[in-house]
Chains A and B, each alone.
Chain A
Amino acid sequence: MTGRDGRIVVVGASLAGLRAAETLRDEGFTGSLTVVGEERHEPYDRPPLSKQVLLGRVPPDHVALPARRPVDADWRLGVRATGLDLEKRLVRLSDGADLPFDRLLVATGVRARPWPDEAQAALDGVVGVRTLEDARGLLERLEAGPRRVLVIGAGFTGSEMASVCRERGLDVVVAERGGAPLIGALGGVLAEVAADIQRAHGVDLRCGVTVTALEGDGRGRLARARLSDGAALEVDVAVVALGAVRNTEWLAGSGLAAGPRGVACDAGCHAFDLNGVVTDDVFVAGDVARFPHPVYEYQLLALEHWGNAVAQAEVAAHNMVSPGVRKRPHLSLPAFWSSQFGVNIKSLGVPSFADEVAVVQGSVEERRFVAVYGYQGRVTAAVAFDQAMWLDFYGRLIEAAAPFPPGFDTVGRPGKPEVLPADVPDPAVLSHGPTVAVTGHLPDERRVTLLRPPG
C-alpha cells in the first residue's frame, strides 16, 4: 500500500469530513473512501442556522455545503460509529456493520450540551440550536410568536439567538452564569461592550444567574423558568445554549487519548494513543480535535471554529497521503466570526490567552474598533467589531510574537493605547512556555521558529 491507495474511512460527515474527503481526492488518493455521518443529511453548514435561517431570510434546507470538487466516496449517512478496534482496524457502525480501514480520520465534532434534567428537557418548548432539525423546530416556534423567549447561556450561539429574537420583535431574556455575554471567549472588557449592545437592543440580560428549573404547564408544555436569584419567568420557549459536548464516547476503550475534552493529536493531526504516543494511521480534525499550537506554548487547543475545521481537515488529509518529509503542521491562527445585533465580530488568535487588552483602533463608543490582546508582553489575539479589514495586520503581529502593547500610532488613534487587565475568566490555565514565531506563506513553507526559550 502506498500513500495514494488503500482504504480510508472518515468518521464525521460535516464540514471537516467533507473538506477532508475533497482534499484526499485532490491530492491524488485513488483508494476506497468511506464517509460515515450520524445525521441523515449530506454535509451542511451550521453557522447560517443561528443567523439567516432563524431570522427567516432563507429556508432551513438552504444550507447544503457546495462541493469544491466531485468526491468519489461511499457516503454512509444516518449511521453512527459506535466503536473503534485499532487492533483489527475496524470502525463499528450502529447498523451492525464493521468498516475496515488502513487509515482513519476522526472528525465527529461536537453536539449541543443538553439541558441536564431530562424530564425538563423533554418539555415542549425547550430547544437547542445545533442541527438542522433544531433550527427547524425553533423556527416554527419563533414564527408562532411566543410571548417571551428565554435564552440559557450568553456565549456566541446564545447571543446570536438573542439578536434573532429582538430582530423579530420578540421579548427575550438571556440568563448567563458569568458576568457578561461572551466573557469566556473575549474577556471582561469586550464582554461589557457586548452587554451594552444587548441591552441597547432591548434584551433583558441577566448575568451572574443560572436557570435552576424549567417548569411545565401540566400538559407537557414549557410554562416558566426559575432563576438562581429567585426570579420566576413566564416563558414559551427556552433556547438551551450551554455550549458543546465532544463526540468521543464511541472511542471509549479504543486505546486513543479520547475523552470529554476531545481527541488529542499532534500538530500534524496524528492521534495520540492513551500512552501519549502518536499513532501512524489515525488522524483527527475539526471540533473534536485537541492539538498543540506552538504560538500558544504548545498547549492543546480544542476549537469549535468553522475555519479550524476546514484548515485542519486539509492538513490531516494531506498528511494521510504524504510521506514524512512532505507532511505539514497545522499552524493556522484560530479565527472566528459572529454576527449579532447588526455587528460583525471577528477574532484572530486566542483572546482568552491574555493578561492584558488594549483598544488600538476605532472607538468603543461607536462600536467600531479593534482590540488587541497581550500575554506577558507579546500580542496573542485581536478582535474587531465592524472593522474586519484591519484584522489580518494583527494576525501578522500575533505570528511574529510582536510586543504588547503595540507602540505605534494608528490612523485616527494617535498616542499610546490604554492597557487594561484582560479579565479572562480562568487565567490559571496559562503557563510559561517558549515564545515562537510562525513564518512562511505557502502551505509547504509554514514553519515555527524559536524567538525566546521558556522563561
Chain B
Amino acid sequence: MTTETLLRRITDYGNRADPYPLYEELRATPVARQEDGTRLVGTYREILHLLHDPRISSDLRNRRHRERAAPDDEDDQGLPPAFLKLDPPAHDRMRRLFMRHFGPPHSPRRVSALGEELPGIITGLVDGLAGRNRIDVVDDFAYPFPVTVICRLLGVPREDEPRFHVWADAVVASIDPGPEENPGERRRAGQQAKAEMGLYMSGLMADRRGSPRDDMLSGLVNDDIADSGVEPVELVTNSVLLFVAGHETTVNLIANGMLTLLRNPEVLADLRAAPAAMPQAVEELLRFEPPVHMLTQRTPLTDVEIAGVVIPEGVPLSLVLASGNRDPQRFTDPDRFDPWRPDNQHLGFGGGVHGCFGAPLARLEAQLALTELIRRLDSPRLAADPPEYRRNPVLRGPRRLLVDFDGMRP
C-alpha cells in the first residue's frame, strides 16, 4: 500500500487497537504526503524539531487550502479561538494569563496542593468498587476520577456532570480527523456543544465575580486583565478548552496505563513492590501509549525543509507523536514497555510553547491512580484484550476496559 493512504488507514477504526505497524510504515518516509495534501511526520527528531520551529504555525488561518482550514474555528459561533490554536504573541499572553492561576511563577503550589486531595478522591472511588469481581476501569474509575479533579480545580459543580458529559463527547467527536460519519455534521454538533458550554461556563464565572472561591475560575474572573490584551470572552473559550482537555486526555492516560500494566505483569509486580518508580513508569506510559496520538493543527508559514524534504508553505501538517515515541533511532527497543528506561524524553505531551498545559496535573493523577489501583486490586487481569476502543484516533484510548480480580485489598 502507498504511504499516501496512511492517514486514512490510521483513522480507520479497524486499526484503532494497534496503529503501531502503521506508524512504523510512516517512519520509513520522513514526510509522508497524504491524498488530501496533508503532510504526516512520524520520526522523533523531525517531530521534536518541528515542535520548536518558529516557522510552524498552530493558527489554522495560515492554511493555504481554505477548505481544510477546519471550519470549527472560523464559524465557532463568534467565539475566538483557544490558545491551543493561536501563535505567539497572542498565544503566550493568553497562556500566561491562565498560568497565573494554575502554576508558577504566580501559583506554584496549586497543583501540589490539589495533589494532597487526590488520594482521598481515589480511595473513595476504589472503596466504591468493593464487593465486585469485575470492573470497567474506564467508567468506574478512569473517567470519574479526572472529572472530579478538573471540576475541583476549575470550580465546576460535579453534579452537573450529566450535562457536560454530553457536551464533551460532542466536542471530542468534532475533532476526529476520520472522513467517515459526516464530518460536517460532527463539526456543527461540536460547535453547538462548545457554545452551550461557553454559556454554562460564563454563568459559573459570573457567580464568582466579586465573590471568589478557591478555584481557577474565581482567579480568572477576578484577575485584572485590562493590560493583558485578552478579552473576557477569551477567558470563557479557554476555560471550556481546559475543562474538556482536562477530562478527556487523563481518562486515556489512566486507562491505557492499566491496560499496559496488565499486559506486563512482571512490571506491575515490580511497581507494586516499589511504588517509588511510578513517576518513571508514567513517563514511559506517556511514551508507549500516549493519550494524544497526533497534533493535526500545524501549518508551515514558509517552505520548511526537514530531513531533506520540503514541506510547502500553507499545507496541513500533522505530527504523529505516538509514532515518534516508538522511533528506534531514538529509543532502544521502542516496542518494549520499560519504566527504567534512561533519558526518556518522550513526546507524550507534545513540546515547545504549545506543550500540554495540564501536564503536571495529569502526571500526578496517573501516578497516584495507578499506584492505588494496582495496590488494591487482588490478581487483576484483562477480561478482554484488546479492549473496545473509543472511535477517536487522536485522543486514543479504550472505551471499555473490563478487568476481573479476586477481591479488594484494604
Residues of A at the B interface (CB closer than 8 Å) are 360-363, 366, 368, 370, 389-390, 392-393, 396, 408-412, 414, 441
A414 to B49, CA, bound (A): 20
Neighbouring A residues of B49 by C-beta, 8 Å: 393, 396
Is B275 located at the chain interface by the 8 A CB criterion?
A: no
14 contacts between A and B (CB under 8 A): A360-B54, A362-B89, A389-B352, A390-B52, A392-B52, A393-B53, A393-B54, A408-B55, A409-B55, A410-B301, A411-B54, A411-B55, A412-B90, A441-B45
Q: Would B52 and A412 count as touching, CB distance under 8 A? A: no
With beta carbons under 8 angstroms apart, the residue of A363, A366, A389, A441 that contacts B353 is: A389
Beyond A408-B302, A410-B301, whether A368 also contacts B54 by CB under 8 A is: no
Q: Would A366 and B89 count as touching, CB distance under 8 A? A: yes
Neighbouring A residues of B353 by C-beta, 8 Å: 389-390
A441 to B58, CA, bound (A): 28
Is B73 located at the chain interface by the 8 A CB criterion?
A: no
Most A CB within 10 A of own CB, among B55, B58, B88, B353: B88
Neighbouring B residues of A360 by C-beta, 8 Å: 54
Is B378 located at the chain interface by the 8 A CB criterion?
A: no
Q: Which residue of B lies closest to A342 (CB)?
A: B105
A366 to B90, CA, bound (A): 13
Which residues 18-75 in B have Cβ within 8 Å of A in the complex?
45, 49, 52-58
- Shortest C-beta distance, A398 to chain B (Å), equals 14
Across the A-B interface, the 9 shortest Cβ-Cβ residue pairs: A410-B54, A411-B87, A412-B88, A408-B302, A409-B301, A412-B89, A411-B88, A412-B87, A393-B52
Is B270 located at the chain interface by the 8 A CB criterion?
A: no
Is B169 located at the chain interface by the 8 A CB criterion?
A: no
Summed over the interface, the residue pairs from A and B with CB atoms below 8 Å come to a total of 46
Neighbouring B residues of A393 by C-beta, 8 Å: 49, 52-54
Q: Is the interface of A mostly helix, strand, loop or mixed?
A: mixed
Q: Would B54 and A361 count as touching, CB distance under 8 A? A: yes
Q: Would A368 and B352 count as touching, CB distance under 8 A? A: no
- Shortest C-beta distance, B337 to chain A (Å), equals 25
A362 to B88, CA, bound (A): 8
Neighbouring A residues of B223 by C-beta, 8 Å: none
Q: Is the interface of B mostly helix, strand, loop or mixed?
A: loop
Q: Would B88 and A361 count as touching, CB distance under 8 A? A: yes
Neighbouring A residues of B52 by C-beta, 8 Å: 389-390, 392-393
Neighbouring B residues of A441 by C-beta, 8 Å: 45
Neighbouring A residues of B127 by C-beta, 8 Å: none
- Shortest C-beta distance, A389 to chain B (Å), equals 5
Neighbouring B residues of A390 by C-beta, 8 Å: 52, 54, 352-353
Q: Would A411 and B301 count as touching, CB distance under 8 A? A: yes
A414 to B54, CA, bound (A): 11
Is B92 located at the chain interface by the 8 A CB criterion?
A: yes
Neighbouring B residues of A412 by C-beta, 8 Å: 87-90
- Shortest C-beta distance, B305 to chain A (Å), equals 10
Neighbouring A residues of B55 by C-beta, 8 Å: 408-411
Neighbouring A residues of B57 by C-beta, 8 Å: 411
Q: Which residue of A lies closest to B352 (CB)?
A: A389
Q: Which residue of B lies closest to A386 (CB)?
A: B92
A177 to B283, CA, bound (A): 50
- Shortest C-beta distance, B167 to chain A (Å), equals 31
> With contacts A392-B52, A393-B52, A393-B53 known, what are 17 further pairs, Cβ within 8 A?
A361-B88, A362-B88, A363-B89, A390-B54, A390-B353, A393-B49, A393-B54, A409-B55, A409-B301, A409-B302, A410-B54, A411-B55, A411-B57, A411-B58, A411-B88, A412-B90, A414-B301
A396 to B57, CA, bound (A): 19
A392 to B89, CA, bound (A): 19
With beta carbons under 8 angstroms apart, the residue of A366, A411, A414 that contacts B56 is: A411
A341 to B87, CA, bound (A): 27
Neighbouring A residues of B352 by C-beta, 8 Å: 389-390
Q: Would B301 and A368 count as touching, CB distance under 8 A? A: no
Neighbouring A residues of B301 by C-beta, 8 Å: 408-411, 414
- Shortest C-beta distance, B29 to chain A (Å), equals 20
Q: Which residue of A lies closest to B59 (CB)?
A: A411
Neighbouring B residues of A392 by C-beta, 8 Å: 52
A411 to B55, CA, bound (A): 6
A390 to B55, CA, bound (A): 11
Neighbouring A residues of B53 by C-beta, 8 Å: 393
- Shortest C-beta distance, A323 to chain B (Å), equals 26
Neighbouring A residues of B58 by C-beta, 8 Å: 411
Neighbouring B residues of A410 by C-beta, 8 Å: 54-55, 301
